[in-house]
């Protein structure tokens, strides 16, 4: 006959054993709960920050896929230009894999008001083709975005302030024309936008593509074709199709264009895993101590159970069950606490007092935590697995007591 200890009884026994020393258990459960809540909260904040950084950066010059002339990315001048798409390229752009596309110009330029001059990035675009999630969704605080045939420019509020000018005034834009000569134009400020980051407001100036083509003396030319795919998971296929069509063109995905952001996003799970493990290691000492003490206080009882016929493996399972109950309680309370904290901050945290610091890392001064269910499972999973791993040694020790030595221990 082999001893049976059904799971329900094992867990019931674990539950009662847990509350023998209620103060110690409460402290340990509390520590676990705080750690789990802190991990989840911190992860959500990190995700929120990264999400915001990517949104901000991708909105500046969006497109899942961008086509340029080779060399443009190293030297974004008008020398690296191409004609507006036609023929097979146009057919592919209007094909099934592409949700929408647009042609743009983007060159370095000087802007000057009556009082100040600044270096900027001048972007020519076709407003009617840009769609959603683009820079034209930034908050316009004055005036209008340009129409397709508009001649005016839209500047950021910060730049407006630096130039010491205002809406409706004329500014002078100077760059290099397609013929290699100085190209300049006087343009009226028709709109002022507010971006989340002041550095973008100061740098990016927008105008309609035809007006910019005219200024650069390069009618019908563009430097960039921005493609928005229908299915982002099939972006590699779309990229490969366009590469076959334009073998000499430089065709890059957004993650290739912004490799820093892409690396951050790719490594986020690894960073989170390391964070959870490091935080847990600090907890592990307390957990192991709690378990060792709990076993040390019950040596006689463990000896009795062995004497009555419980097998060493079942003793080990009993200790593991106690750890599991302890962990589940800590995790459940921690999850609830993190849930409440994140729920209360769902509209974002105002960090405008630290706006400059956040701008340096390309994030907005308002941080909205981003909760992902997989972070919850990962955090709970790692804590459970490591917690059980921590209890293996105490469980092994308990299972290997000699019944007689345990029974007669003082």
Partner 1 sequence: MTNAVHCHQLCRKFHQGGQTIHGLDHVDFDVAAGEFICLTGPSGSGKTTLLNAIGGLDRPDSGDIAVGGVSLNTLDQGALADLRLAHIGFVFQSYNLIPVLSARENIEFILLMQGVDATERHRLADDMLREVGLEGLGSRRPSELSGGQQQRVAVARAIVSRPTLVLADEPTANLDSHTAEQLMALFAELNLRHGTTFIVASHDPRVQHFARRLIRMQDGKIIEDHPLAHD
Binding site for partner 1 (CB under 8 A): 1-6, 9, 13, 16-17, 20, 300-301, 304-313, 402-404, 407
Could you give the dihedral angle defined by the CA atoms of residues 289, 293, 295 and 301, in that order, rounded to the nearest 10 degrees? -170
Q: Between 276 and 325, name the residue whose CB sits nearer to partner 1.
A: 325
- Distance of closest approach, residue 309 Cβ to partner 1, in angstroms: 3
3-state secondary structure at position 276: helix
Q: Between 274 and 307, name the residue whose CB sits nearer to partner 1.
A: 307
3-state secondary structure at position 2: coil
Pair type for strands 153-156 and 182-194: parallel
Determine which helix (DSSP H) or strand (DSSP E) holds 61, and give its type and residue range. Answer: none
CB distance 399 to 315 below 8 Å = yes
Q: Between 5 and 249, name the residue whose CB sits nearer to partner 1.
A: 5
Distance CA 301, CA 85 (A): 83
| Token output for 236 | 């590699």
Distance CA 149, CA 211 (A): 7
- Distance of closest approach, residue 16 Cβ to partner 1, in angstroms: 4
- Distance of closest approach, residue 305 Cβ to partner 1, in angstroms: 7
Q: Between 36 and 306, name the residue whose CB sits nearer to partner 1.
A: 306
Determine which helix (DSSP H) or strand (DSSP E) holds 226, and give its type and residue range. Answer: strand 224-229
Q: Between 59 and 311, name the residue whose CB sits nearer to partner 1.
A: 311
- Distance of closest approach, residue 408 Cβ to partner 1, in angstroms: 9
Kindly give, in sequence order, each residue whose CB lies less than 8 Å from that of residue 211, ignoring residues fewer than 6 positions away: 124, 146, 150, 151, 185, 187
- Distance of closest approach, residue 327 Cβ to partner 1, in angstroms: 20
Q: Between 339 and 403, name the residue whose CB sits nearer to partner 1.
A: 403
Closest by alpha carbon to 130, among 108, 156, 107, 104? 104
- Distance of closest approach, residue 2 Cβ to partner 1, in angstroms: 5
């Amino acid at each position: 006959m082999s001893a049976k200890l059904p799971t329900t009884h094992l867990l019931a026994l674990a539950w009662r054993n847990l509350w023998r020393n209620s103060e110690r258990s409460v402290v340990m459960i509390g520590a676990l709960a705080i750690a789990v809540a802190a991990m989840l909260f911190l992860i959500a904040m990190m995700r929120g920050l990264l999400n915001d950084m990517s949104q901000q950066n991708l909105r500046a010059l969006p497109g899942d896929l961008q086509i340029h002339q080779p060399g443009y990315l190293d030297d974004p001048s008008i020398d690296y230009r191409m004609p507006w798409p036609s023929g097979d390229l146009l057919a592919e752009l209007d094909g099934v894999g592409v949700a929408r596309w647009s042609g743009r110009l983007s060159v370095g330029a000087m802007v000057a008001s009556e009082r100040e001059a600044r270096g900027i990035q001048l972007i020519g675009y076709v407003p009617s083709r840009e769609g959603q999630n683009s820079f034209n969704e930034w908050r316009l605080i004055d005036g209008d975005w340009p129409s397709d045939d508009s001649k005016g420019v839209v500047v950021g509020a910060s730049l407006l302030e630096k130039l010491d000018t205002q809406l409706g005034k004329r500014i002078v834009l100077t760059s290099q024309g397609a013929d290699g000569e100085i190209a300049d134009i006087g343009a009226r400020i028709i709109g002022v936008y507010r971006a989340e980051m002041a550095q973008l407001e100061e740098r990016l100036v927008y105008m309609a593509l035809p007006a910019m083509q005219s200024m650069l003396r390069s009618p019908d030319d563009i430097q960039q074709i921005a493609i928005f795919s229908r299915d982002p998971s099939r972006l590699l296929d779309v990229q490969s199709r366009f590469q076959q069509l334009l073998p000499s063109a430089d065709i890059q995905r957004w993650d290739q264009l912004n490799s820093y952001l892409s690396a951050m996003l790719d490594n986020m799970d690894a960073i989170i895993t390391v964070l959870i493990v490091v935080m847990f290691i600090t907890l592990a000492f307390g957990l192991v101590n709690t378990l060792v003490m709990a076993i040390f206080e019950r040596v006689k009882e463990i000896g009795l159970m062995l004497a009555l016929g419980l097998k060493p493996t079942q003793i080990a399972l009993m200790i593991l069950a106690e750890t599991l109950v302890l962990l589940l309680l800590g995790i459940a309370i921690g999850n609830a606490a993190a849930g409440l904290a994140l729920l209360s901050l769902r509209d974002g945290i105002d960090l405008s007092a630290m706006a400059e610091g956040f701008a340096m890392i390309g994030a907005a001064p308002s941080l909205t935590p981003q909760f992902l269910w997989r972070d919850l499972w990962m955090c709970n999973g790692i804590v459970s697995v490591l917690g059980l791993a921590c209890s293996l040694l105490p469980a092994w020790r308990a299972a290997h007591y000699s019944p007689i030595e345990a029974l007669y221990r003082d």
